[in-house]
Structure 1
Amino acid sequence: MHRSGTTMAWNVFQFCTVLRGLGSIMILLVLGVVGVTYYAVVWTNYGPALSDGGLDSLAALTIIILFHFLLAMLLWSYFSVVFTDPGVVSPNWRSASDEEQRGESDPLNSLEFGGLQPDSSNQRTRFCRKCNQPKPPRCHHCSVCGRCVLKMDHHCVWVVNCVGALNYKYFLLFLLYTFLETTLVTLLLMPHFIAFFSDEEIPGTPGTLATTFLAFVLNLAFALSVMGFLIMHISLVAANTTTIEAYEKKTSPKWPYDLGRKKNFEQVFGMDKRYWLIPAYSEEDLRRMPELQGLDYPSKPDFDSQDF
């Protein structure tokens, strides 16, 4: 029995190591799909139409401008998720109740041996045995990153990073712009894809035709898969939960952080409407909304911590 447990732990370690090693490969794969799509849309099919003149040229120009705008927002959001730390627990972080009890007793010892202390927001203070430190509310340990992540949603192989409090908005925008871009490309290349199976003569070299075919299939697949993830995360934002917390809610009859759809949305995207669709926050939102920092989250005033 002891040997079986050791083998299981070793397998989990190997799995986490493999996920970390996939990082550069996944980024190159994303850039590769972008490159194939760009070549098929701009260089092969719609770029040459700019010199035709008339309405065809105007339509091609409009398509190319829209394509580049969505692509720029997609890449901006993507690399914002990749290079933004999702949020880590400061080594000297303590909950409000721990600060009040400092000097009277050692809160870490009581937490480590199973004692649970409610903080000022009437929530329980938790302790991570792997990081050997207290965990703020909604914080979880990531086995791949090897650390606790603030308001962790999941570890995403595609962005080579954890999705947490500080980059969750960027991840959602990445999903949104990916869905819009891939849907646009699918619609643009669909006539060319249908022409592959018709008897009409198709202009272009075998290489350009193959690239167009590949770009259509890839973008269609991404559009359908991302649509599912986007719908799922929209429902999570509306309920003010993360992917991990969605499973926790199944064992809890009440959820303390659901403050209504408007406030739930603002806790992720901020209150400044000018910044809702870009991967950034206004200085004013960062100053007046501590929940954007991933440590303090308002809960329902009538919520009882014993129910959670």
Structure 2
Amino acid sequence: MAWNVFKFCTALRALGSIMILVVIGIIGFTYYAVVVANYGPSLLLGGFDSLLALLVLGLFHFLLVMLVWSYFSVVVTDPGGVPPGWRPELDIEKSEGNQQAIVEANPISVGDSSSHIVRYCRKCNQYKPPRSHHCSVCGRCILKMDHHCVWVVNCVGAMNYKSFLLFLFYTFLETTLVAVSLLPVFLVFFSDGDDDITVSPGSLAATFVAFVLNIAFALSVLGFLIMHIMLVRRNTTTIEAYEKHTTNWPYDLGRKTNFEQVFGRDKMYWFIPLYTEVDMKRLPALRGLDFTGRSEESEPLQSL
């Protein structure tokens, strides 16, 4: 009997809710180690120590605000679903040869998103726009789906992919800052001299754990960040990269255009999880329905 992994979809949704609490807990624990136990008290010492503490705390809080903003933008933003009644702009009557392909299409396979073959999801009972895929956890088709992330209790798709990338970016910067700033105290943990220890045993233990957690997250997030930077450069998603041959990927329009189809054209908005109204109107790819190909053969199917 084949093992059906999708029977665990309900458990994944429940796990995601727990993961949000885990994220908040890690942030709170790190905040205690950096602000309350170490650099907050240093503000009262005066001289270079106060200046260093002010610099670390200022940068720490700025990155923390951007991290939390980006994170909850991924959590609460709809990644993009197929509009009700969406149909491809294709003369079905002239493509009767495709009808069998429509009926037999695998609803969760990547397929050839760059072709004019009509894609149909049997689970949603509706047509699938190019680059959309069915998520069994969310129970619907997601526009330009990248993956379902339990850390954010949401799919990562067309509308929140930028927020997800910014979340990775600010998480890497924040965890790296925390690891570097706590390194001197972490080394004191292994020192033999009691004179070097200026904090309580509880604060020292919290600092040790916070350092280990943040250095681990910094290294792991760096790997994901590099992977997604490569995906953005080729204008592809995680699903497409693993399940398609993208050597002659028709949606690869050059690094600049590929970047704009994720982050928009307004440079002032590149580092915040928002788009301008102008970009939303002039860049249809941001909405996940219309994509420009490099040739007429790879142009997307448009909605009616």
TM over 0.5: yes
Residue of structure 1 aligned with 2:153, choices 160, 164, 187: 160
| In the alignment, structure 1 residue 240 sits paired with structure 2 residue 235 | yes
Distance 1:91 1:105, change over 3 A: farther
Partner of 1:141: 134
Describe how 1:1-308 pairs up with structure 2 within 5 A. 4-5=1-2, 8-9=3-4, 12-97=5-90, 100-101=91-92, 111-113=102-104, 123-201=116-194, 202-250=197-245, 253-301=247-295, 303=297
Shift of 1:24: 1.8
TM-score (norm 2): 0.90
Q: Which runs of 4+ in 1 moved over 3 A?
A: 100-110, 302-305
CA displacement at 1:249 relative to structure 2: 2.8
What is the one-letter code of the residue matched to 2:224?
Answer: F
CA–CA distance in 2 between the matches of 1:199 and 1:107?
76
CA deviation vs aligned residue, 1:28-59 (integer Å, no higher than 9, x gap): 10011101110010111100111122222122
Shift of residue 200, structure 1, vs aligned partner: 2.3
Residue 204 of structure 2 aligns with an amino acid whose one-letter code is L
Q: Which runs of 5+ in 1 are unaligned?
A: 115-120
CA spacing shift, 1:253–1:181, aligned 2, 3 Å: closer
1:73 & 1:89 partners in 2: Cα distance?
30
Residue by residue over 1:83-127, the C-alpha shift from the partner in whole angstroms, topping out at 9 and shown as x without a partner, is 001000012111111xx447998987762246xxxxxx8633211
* Alpha-carbon distance in structure 2 between the residues aligned to 1:220 and 1:242: 27
How far apart are the structure 2 equivalents of 1:105 and 1:80? Answer: 43
Maintained 8 Å contact 2:98/2:117: no
CA distance in 2 between partners of 1:110 and 1:153 (Å): 25
Q: Distance in 1 between matches of 2:97 and 2:73?
A: 40
Matching residue's letter, 2:103? E
- Matched AA of 1:241: T
- Paired with 1:23 and 1:51, the residues of 2 have a C-alpha distance of 41
Contact 1:142 1:149 in 2 (8 A): yes
Deviation, 1:304, is 5.5
CA distance in 1, matches of 2:273, 2:59: 19
The CA deviation at 1:171 is: 0.1
**1:114-153 Cα deviation digits (max 9, x unpaired):** 6xxxxxx863321111111100000000111111000000
**Conserved? CA contact 1:249–1:255, under 8 Å:** no
Do the aligned partners of 2:120 and 2:127 also contact (CA within 8 Å) in 1?
Answer: yes
What one-letter code is carried by the residue in structure 1 that aligns with 2:215?
L
Measure, in 1, the Cα distance between the counterparts of 2:266 and 2:42. Answer: 40
- Stretch moving more, 294-303 or 278-287: 294-303
Letter in 2 for 1:22: L
- 1:303 offset after TM fit, Å? 4.6
Are the counterparts in 2 of residues 123 and 137 from structure 1 also a CA contact under 8 Å?
no
Residues 88 and 56 from structure 1, CA distance in 2 versus in 1: closer, same or farther, beyond 3 angstroms? same
Contact 1:236 1:243 in 2 (8 A): yes
Contact 1:239 1:261 in 2 (8 A): yes
Greater displacement, 53-62 / 235-244: 53-62
Distance in 1 (alpha carbons) for counterparts of 2:269 and 2:288: 18
Q: Contact 2:147–2:157 at 8 Å: present in 1 too?
A: yes
User: Per-residue CA shift, 1:232-286, capped at 9, x if unaligned?
Assistant: 0000000000000002333x65211000011000000000000000000011101
Q: Given the superposition, is the C-alpha separation of residues 94 and 39 from structure 1 closer, same or farther in structure 2, using an over 3 Å criterion?
A: same
Amino acid at match of 1:248: E
* SS in structure 1 at match of 2:119: strand
